[in-house]
Structure 1
């Protein structure tokens, strides 16, 4: 059992609500940041339990920020956990607060789960994520729910991300297809209800051959 799952199962602090299979995904992508000096942003605070979980997991050098539209969430602030109240689906909100934010190494979107919120948050914050950072969007099963603005063939975040896959492969297309995602996105990992974007500076790929031909 991983540390996050163990924390969750023994949790007697603030409420945490997670799908069981998420913990393995978190550990896979977040483990390299443990006990490092990192800044972490979680959109969607609710009762603050997951922020306490991240604080425990990443260690004493981690600083955590939470964003939520519900002003009651301000009460979960504590040492190394700062809460900002605002609407993740409002570009003006992001433009107002970004100058005062640190550079984040991990961004977790567990917010309102509406399609426009996910897209706006990604477009505003992925470009300013650290060069080797991780952007994780969860609860993407809502992308298939009409009441959340989704549907199989809708303009949901999952379909939006498919264009980013093309951009990741931009070097193999026309020069005009090379963009921010081509030069800064290392991988896109897709799981049940989760997409993980990992950044890493990239230059044009090349290939070589070694050894002797067989025929």
Structure 2
């Protein structure tokens, strides 16, 4: 009987190669999303490779059919390029550089942003690279705790932080329920966000074009629908407001001592 392959946590703790730096709880998140890719022919992009240990980790975990594309600002990282590895040297906040990278990339199964972790770097990379992920793929942003750190241009509830921008994108998933659509973002990227998952220091986007939702009722009615008291109160209040709105729309004038509605 063939034994189960080592988990990514086991591979990490038994690693003796180049330096890798990871929070331990990340491995549970990785296993949840990445296990289905093991042994498959896949293309991934990692931003931020440092000493190259993570490149070795992914190869051990995913197998010989993975091709790793990587970005790092340190020119010395180019020497880490080897078979089934392509390394681009440049800044992840440089749109021109990223545009050139995108032109050379195949469709990606997923992206892991483990780069510089500043707000500009994470936001620019997301905007430039998200649509390069294939349908059903994933976009990971790691170490998003920097959204709460001033030195990374974040801060608690800073509207310019990656976390706050990601929260805003949740509203876009509900775009068909929003009356005033000018208040939410609707574009090609948001139409391809099927799910956003928030973990401690990681945000995961599942890329999939959302279908137009619909609902229907099937079967016969058997009882009188129950309307909660809270909704009844709101309905009455709305009715009163509606009366005043009608009066504002149809003002009254005095006519021979009486009141007559102007038609």
Normalising by structure 1, we get a TM-score of 0.93
Q: Report the counterpart of residue 149 of structure 1 in structure 2.
A: 153
Q: Which residue, 18, 21, 33 being the options, matches 2:22?
A: 18
List aligned pairs for 1:114-153, cutoff 5 A: 114-153=118-157
Structure 2: distance between partners of 1:181 and 1:124: 10
2:72 pairs with one of 58, 63, 68? 68
In the TM superposition, what are the counterparts of 1:1-215 in structure 2 within 5 Å? Answer: 3-154=7-158, 155-174=160-179, 178-210=186-218, 213=221, 215=223
Report which of the two structures shows the higher radius of gyration computed on alpha carbons. 2
- The CA distance in 2 between the partners of 1:94 and 1:151, in whole Å, is 26
Q: 1:134 touches 1:197 (CA, 8 Å); kept in 2?
A: yes
Q: How far apart in 1 are the matches of 2:60 and 2:216?
A: 45
Q: Is the 8 A contact 2:102 2:132 kept in 1?
A: no
Two-structure CA RMSD over aligned residues (Å): 1.8
Q: What is the TM-score when the length of structure 2 is the normalising length?
A: 0.77
SS at match of 1:50: helix
Higher relative contact order structure (alpha carbons within 8 Å, sequence separation ≥ 6): 1
Can you give the 5+ residue segments of structure 2 that lack an aligned partner in the other structure? 224-263
Count of aligned pairs between the two proteins: 215
Distance 1:113 1:171, change over 3 A: same
Consecutive unaligned residues of structure 1, counting only runs of 5 or more, are none
SS of the residue aligned with 2:39? coil
Q: For the residues of structure 1 that align with 2:194 and 2:23, how far apart are their CA atoms?
A: 26
